[in-house]
Amino acid sequence: MNKKFYIGTLAVGIAASFWACGSGEIIKPNEFDGTMAYNDDPKDPTMGIDAGAFRAYCPECVAPVSSSSTAPKTQKSSSSRQTLPGLSSSSKIVINTSSSAEPGIASSSSQSGPVFLYSSSSSAPVVQPGGDAGTCAPEKDTYESGESVIWKFERGSAISGQDYLKSKSVWTTADGTPAASAVLDGVKGRTHTVTYATSGKHNASVQITTAAGAVHNVTCTPVQVNGAPITGCKCVAAEKNPDISVGGAWTISGCSSTGANIVGYEWAGALADPTDPTKASQAFTAKNQAAAPVVSVSNDDNTVIQVPCDTVVSVDATDPDYVLTFEGSNIPSSTLASVDIPLNKEACIQVSFKWEGGWTPNNISVLCDVTAAQNQPGLTLDITYGTSSKSYTGDYNISNSGIALGAVKAGQNTMNNVCVTATGKEGGTAKCFFGN
């Protein structure tokens, strides 16, 4: 298809000088006839950049080109046309480098510091109040030893999309390889890839110089490069539904590191035990409060990993959701003692009973029958008791499924809360009762 089109019919507000992409080529306006000629200059900051990058980094630079444009003239030939991934022969984008107002760009409350402006007649910098140049961070927070680290820059409101397309960037990664990047044009400077020979925290920064001479120095969020791996960690709750009188409690164990020593545990979301850093607790003031701490475990080879702990949800023995009780010398049937819990609602059952028989069972359980509403398939049942949990699934019903509570003693028995969550179409129920 013809690769040229006129710019005279484009929307008002797009400047007379801009790039456009048709059939995947990057093209510039022809000063003689106003048509678009292919760009053969490999030094151009837009040369070879993926079309998606333009849309991401300069959304205001991209505008659709109508297929009904004025009939094109003869195109300029080129032997170095670049194909952009994702563009078909009928898709085109216009690269608008005018200084028209751009749409909203997410900005940070942090400032990048003073911006130095250089005039063409003097090399002396002019100090101007700092703006939000943007942010810089590793592509992910933590890398393993030997992995290549990718640093990324996201521009802010102090640099327009048009300015960024014509900017030059230099990355500094002093303790990495390479220690600095070459001068990178346009959006080619948005990323920088390095490797690190040592583990631990590493820093980076990027300097962006716009075509007008404004210099922005942006310091990156540090990256963590791990050394010897840490494996085997588990963080377990003492009880998944603790009473508010007790609170939540967790223990982390099983951590090991070949060739290194575990040297620290840092808790987030729970209070570390001052005498044992592998333990932590969390107080609750009402039922249905939840906590799920995360432990940062470190070794002496600068490795840090995050270990998630069991989620716990508090209950209140003085204000139970349901009470399941009986008195007698036999485990009652579901018709004599049961509770009905609506589907899609977590509820906790306070289990309390008085055993009056001369013999005592080795175990008593809470079982549930889950029934679908309107004969709809897809049921689940999750039951927790202390540190134990059971999960069941069914199409139209789940029968006699539950969890063991332990041995029965003569006289009064007050068990910990049994918490039940059954899911399915609204209107179904979980009937829970005693079993053996």
CATH number at residue 205: 2.60.40.10
User: Among 55-59, 164-168, 186-190, 266-270, whose mean pLDDT is lowest?
Assistant: 55-59
Per-residue pLDDT, 51: 59
Residues 330 and 420 in one domain: yes
The angle formed by the CA atoms of residues 40, 45 and 46, to the nearest 5 degrees, is: 70
Is residue 5 in a domain?
Answer: no
Domain around 134: 115-225
Residues 307 and 354 in one domain: no
Three-state secondary structure along 220-238?
CCCEEECCCCCECCEEEEC
Residues 23 and 50 in one domain: yes
Per-residue pLDDT, 60: 58
pTM assigned to the model: 0.60
CATH number at residue 286: 2.60.40
What percent of the chain lies above the pLDDT cut of 70? 70
CATH number at residue 410: 2.60.120
Which residue did the predictor score with more confidence, 357 or 232? 232
Is residue 103 in a domain?
Answer: no
The domain boundary, picked from 313, 345, 360, lies at 313
Q: What is the mean pLDDT of residues 34-57?
A: 48
Residues 160 and 192 in one domain: yes
Residues 169 and 272 in one domain: no
The span from the CA of 265 to the CA of 234, in Å, is 12
Is residue 102 in a domain?
Answer: no
Residues 288 and 330 in one domain: no
The span from the CA of 269 to the CA of 291, in Å, is 7
Kindly give, in sequence order, each residue whose CB lies less than 8 Å from that of residue 370, ignoring residues fewer than 6 positions away. 343, 379, 381, 392, 394, 397, 398, 401, 422, 424, 428, 429, 430
Check if the beta carbon of residue 402 is closer than 8 Å to that of residue 390: yes
Q: What is the mean pLDDT of residues 110-121?
A: 30
Residues 248 and 350 in one domain: no
Residues 309 and 413 in one domain: no
Alpha helices in 58-208 (DSSP H): 161-165
The domain boundary, picked from 69, 96, 123, lies at 96
Per-residue pLDDT, 418: 93
Is residue 54 in a domain?
Answer: yes
Domain count, the chain: 4
Q: What is the DSSP letter of 285?
A: S
Is residue 376 in a domain?
Answer: yes
Residues 208 and 239 in one domain: no
Residues 301 and 327 in one domain: no
The span from the CA of 240 to the CA of 304, in Å, is 27
Residues 250 and 221 in one domain: no
Residues 215 and 157 in one domain: yes
How do residues 296-316 score in pLDDT, each as one tens digit?
999 999 999 999 999 998 999
The domain boundary, picked from 225, 250, 273, lies at 225
Per-residue pLDDT, 205: 95
At 57, the pLDDT band (50, 70, 90 cuts) reads: low
Is residue 4 in a domain?
Answer: no
Is residue 12 in a domain?
Answer: no
Is residue 109 in a domain?
Answer: no
User: Among 117-131, 207-221, 322-336, 410-424, whose mean pLDDT is lowest?
Assistant: 117-131
